[in-house]
Amino acid sequence: MFSEYLSILFMFFKAFVVGGLICVLAQIIINFTDLTAGKILVYFMLGGLILQSLGLYQYLVDFAGAGATVPISGFGYLLANGAMRGVQKGFFYAITGPLAAASAGVSAAVVFSFFMALIFRSHTKFN
């Protein structure tokens, strides 16, 4: 019973460390380069996509779980994974596979953004 709790705690620890390291890497890039946040997001997403297409990101997901799938690089992993599963069915599914794999997350983001826009009043930020 106690070892079960320790294994869950260790799983949380691994996810926290890996997700934290991904965020630290992004913060270092922000601090020491002139790249915009949008470009960094795209590079991380493409990094996850490329690493998964090479078969390397899956090892990180198996080790860290949500620590590797929640950051934006996990979205690239999800797209590549959907394409790789879809290509087994045919060319058309290779194109629609990533859309099907990411549809739940994107749909949830759109729906929750809509509800937040109804609840809160948006305004531009002035410096």
Largest CA distance in the chain: 54
Cβ contacts of 74 within 8 Å, gap of 6 or more = 48, 61, 68
Q: Given pLDDT bands bounded at 50, 70 and 90, which one contains residue 60?
A: very high
Interatomic CA distance for residues 15 and 88, integer angstroms: 30
**Secondary structure letter of residue 33 according to DSSP:** S
Q: What is the spatial distance between Cα 63 and Cα 57, in angstroms, rounded to a whole number?
A: 10
Q: Does the pLDDT value for residue 99 go beyond 70?
A: yes
The pTM of the full predicted model, rounded to 2 decimals, is 0.77
